[in-house]
Amino acid sequence: MALNPCCCMSSRTGATIIGIFQIILYATCIIGVLFCYSTVSRDLSVQALKEQLTQVNNQFIDDPNYQDWKIEDETFFNALYIFLICVLVGCIIGLFLASILIHGIRTENPQLLKFHLIIYSTLFCISWVGAIAYLAMGQFLPTLAIYGLGFYFLRVFYYAYLEVREKVSHRQTILLALLINEVAQLECLPAPQSKQPYEKMPC
């Protein structure tokens, strides 16, 4: 197939490797989020997190007259819980999509790969809202690296879908040709007659 984004392997193999990597990554993130949630619930590291957040925020302030930014405990808890829930939902969705990708490639199901491609493309386009925010903060190189890698993954998924669809279509064409050949052979056989020897009629 032309324009294969994976130069040293097939697009199916490349997509499978990416899917396995995503499953490991999202599963690890889910475990980490659940651990952080339980830690915050026991108030073990709230003060440390608040101090780090305050230091990070104050690094962006150059005004010497600016007073140190502070956050209330209740506001901090609510914001942290919402953030952890959003990350957890995103990881679950990513794990679900990666599982669909692996299963679609393993079973050679182009419909599953098409569904995965549509959902992934939609989420990738929506995520550009966050990219604009990062660019506004001056984070050009990290944003370019992350979304460049995401676009490359999208290309790999697309060509893997085309590769599986082409293989399935070729297989169906062969099966259809064999079926037509079998039907043609059956049409050449004589109708069954009682008490007469079987003779094959000439085609």
- Residue 3: what pLDDT? 65
State the Cα–Cα distance between residues 110 and 122, nearest whole angstrom.
Answer: 18
The two tokens of residue 134 are 């990062």
**Which residues, other chains included, contact 128 with Cβ-Cβ below 8 Å and sequence gap of 6+?**
147
The two tokens of residue 145 are 């690296």
Cβ contact 54:68 at 8 Å: yes
**Which residues, other chains included, contact 168 with Cβ-Cβ below 8 Å and sequence gap of 6+?**
108, 110
- Residue 171: what pLDDT? 84
pTM for this predicted structure: 0.70
Task: Give the pLDDT of the chain (203 residues) as one tens digit per residue.
Answer: 456 777 778 888 899 999 999 999 999 999 988 887 776 655 545 566 666 666 655 555 454 554 455 555 566 677 778 888 888 998 999 999 999 999 999 998 999 999 999 999 998 888 877 777 767 766 677 778 888 888 899 999 999 999 999 988 888 888 888 888 877 777 675 655 555 555 555 54
Cβ contact 163:174 at 8 Å: no
State the Cα–Cα distance between residues 161 and 155, nearest whole angstrom.
Answer: 10
